[in-house]
Amino acid sequence: MRETFYAKYGKRLFDLLVVIPLFLIIWPFMALVALIIRVTSPGPALFIQERLGRNARVFRAYKYRTMTDKPRVFDTEFYTGDPSEITAIGRFLRRSKLDELPQVLNVIKGEMSMVGPRPQLEVQLKDFNEDAKLRLLVRPGLTGMAQTHGNVALSWPERWHYDAEYVRRLSFGLDLWLIARTFAVLFLGEERFTRKPGAAS
């Protein structure tokens, strides 16, 4: 990773300058979503799970609960159980990516950044290749290079390739470009932006 001023200091400052005002604006909406989750299905509004952060430190990542409050073991990044276990509001939150909105709190706490590799489960650490190990040099992000180039359509090695590329190229300009690309993905769909490593744009 390039030891630039932005990488050492500017990125965290950029996160705070954007996310704190954003949170002050959207917290009533976040509270409303939490209330809807609580009144439409039994269980807490938030789903809290331990994830790998910078330097492999484990932190508690927040998401809106999108499934029934049934005990289950999450041993992979994406739970592929019975689709009927996803609540009605949960389907909407997943499609719109709003289920990850509570992670703005993780950004404020300094555990995550707006842009960076998505945080993974600690159990996945044993499978990390050299590309995946590079992702631990930076804070995980709300969005990242892998998420804007195919996300789940890519294999883990392909996603880790993009994570490593992000770490090597980290800059203010790259973060702005990935934020803009994220909005394009949300509005136009992931399929249009899927690029295998070596054919990215």
pLDDT mean across residues, the chain:
91
- pLDDT at position 201 is 47
- pLDDT at position 77 is 56
What number is the average pLDDT over the span 175-183? 96
- pLDDT at position 74 is 59
Q: For 147-173, how does the pLDDT look when each residue is reduced to its tens digit (9 = 90+)?
A: 999 988 899 999 999 999 999 999 999
Return phi, psi of residue 176, to 5°.
Answer: -60, -45
Residue 167: burial class (beta carbons within 10 Å; 0-12, 13-18, 19+): buried
CA dihedral sign of residues 26, 136, 146, 63: negative
What number is the average pLDDT over the span 103-117? 97
Confidence band of 199 (pLDDT split at 50, 70, 90): low
Task: Please say whether the beta carbons of 15 and 114 come within 8 A.
Answer: yes
Q: For 41-85, how does the pLDDT look when each residue is reduced to its tens digit (9 = 90+)?
A: 999 999 999 999 999 999 999 999 999 887 666 555 555 556 778
What number is the average pLDDT over the span 97-125? 95
pLDDT above 60 (res 125): yes
What number is the average pLDDT over the span 82-107? 91
What's the full length of the chain, in residues? 201
